[in-house]
Amino acid sequence: MKTVLITGCSSGFGLEIARYFLDRDWRVIATMRAPRKDLLPRSDRLSILALDVKDPQSIRAVIDAAGRIDVLVNNAGIGFLNALEGTPMDTVRDIFETNTLGTIAMAQAVLPQFRERREGVIINVTSTVTCRPLHLLSVYTASKSAVNAFSESLALELEQFNVRVRVVLPGRAPSTRFGENAQARMKDGFAEPYGALVEQIFANWQKETAVTHASDVAEAVWLAATDSSSPFNIPAGEDAVEWYNAAAK
């Protein structure tokens, strides 16, 4: 039986990915900053473990407790929307520590066992915001673009050990807690000189109808985990596929 360890399973994509793999008879290690046992169906194939990807001790403890892992899904992430002038450096650090360094630290933590066994898959969830420049998203996009670039180089050095790396790029998913979680970080409001721009951006979003659903992301992660011929980059969601294909032209 194969085992997947997923970060950030308290809501959104991570929770759905955990459900998806459980339904397909995998052993699932669903990790959360604040573990909750009421979110997923009871199963003897499910372990719920505490993990904060910003905390090295927490990473060590989860790897020790997890035992054998076949697939790591780096899903945990935080969002933020503002002009750079309205983005405190503490927030910049928080975004990079979670989205970028957290992903790198988790990959580093599973690698010894993947390399020794000559198998394993690392799946990094980034975003289609990395496919084209967007207003008010410079820091978030930078944190995710860094993961794209990291993943490409990592894949090369791990080929010799039969360890695969894949990147899943979701589009905009209003149904997860991502926006709400990001808003809590945006309590100081938008930088005043950018007010007109912010209004314009929000008005444009209202017009967009294609979105990404958590199930799209779970399917893309499943493909990445189970199909060794899957593409390196896998856009997830109707809008994501559109954006990704447009950028590839």
Ligand X SMILES: NC(=O)c1ccc[n+]([C@@H]2O[C@H](COP(=O)([O-])OP(=O)(O)OC[C@H]3O[C@@H](n4cnc5c(N)ncnc54)[C@H](OP(=O)(O)O)[C@@H]3O)[C@@H](O)[C@H]2O)c1
Name every residue whose Cβ is closer than 8 Å to that of residue 8 and which is 6 or more positions away in sequence. 14, 31, 32, 53, 75, 76, 77
Where does this chain touch ligand X (CB under 6 A) — which range of 21-29, 46-54, 109-117, 192-200? 46-54
Helix (H) or strand (E) holding 14: helix 12-23
Question: CA–CA separation, 51 vs 58, rounded Å?
Answer: 6
Question: Could you tell me if 42 and 91 are in contact, meaning their C-beta atoms sit under 8 angstroms apart?
Answer: no
173 binds ligand X (CB under 6 A): yes
What are 46's strand-pairing partners?
Answer: 28
**Site residues (CB under 6 A) for ligand X, limited to 178-237:** 178, 181
Nearer to ligand X, 3 or 98 (CB): 98
Residue 236 DSSP symbol:
E
Q: Identify the residue among 6, 18, 21, 52 touching ligand X (CB under 6 A).
A: 52
Nearer to ligand X, 58 or 113 (CB): 58
13 binds ligand X (CB under 6 A): yes
What are 167's strand-pairing partners?
Answer: 124, 233
Where does this chain touch ligand X (CB under 6 A) — which range of 21-29, 50-58, 152-160, 190-198? 50-58
Q: Identify the residue among 14, 86, 120, 235 touching ligand X (CB under 6 A).
A: 14
176 binds ligand X (CB under 6 A): yes
93 binds ligand X (CB under 6 A): no
Residue 101 DSSP symbol:
I
- Which string of b and e fits 6-30 if b means at least 16 CB within 10 Å? bbbbbbbbbbbbbbbbbeeebbbbb
Nearer to ligand X, 18 or 111 (CB): 18
Where does this chain touch ligand X (CB under 6 A) — which range of 22-30, 76-84, 157-165, 198-206? 76-84
Q: Which residues are catalytic?
A: 140
Chain residues that interact with ligand X, rule: CB under 6 A: 7-14, 33-34, 51-54, 75-79, 98, 102, 125, 127, 170, 172-173, 176-178, 181
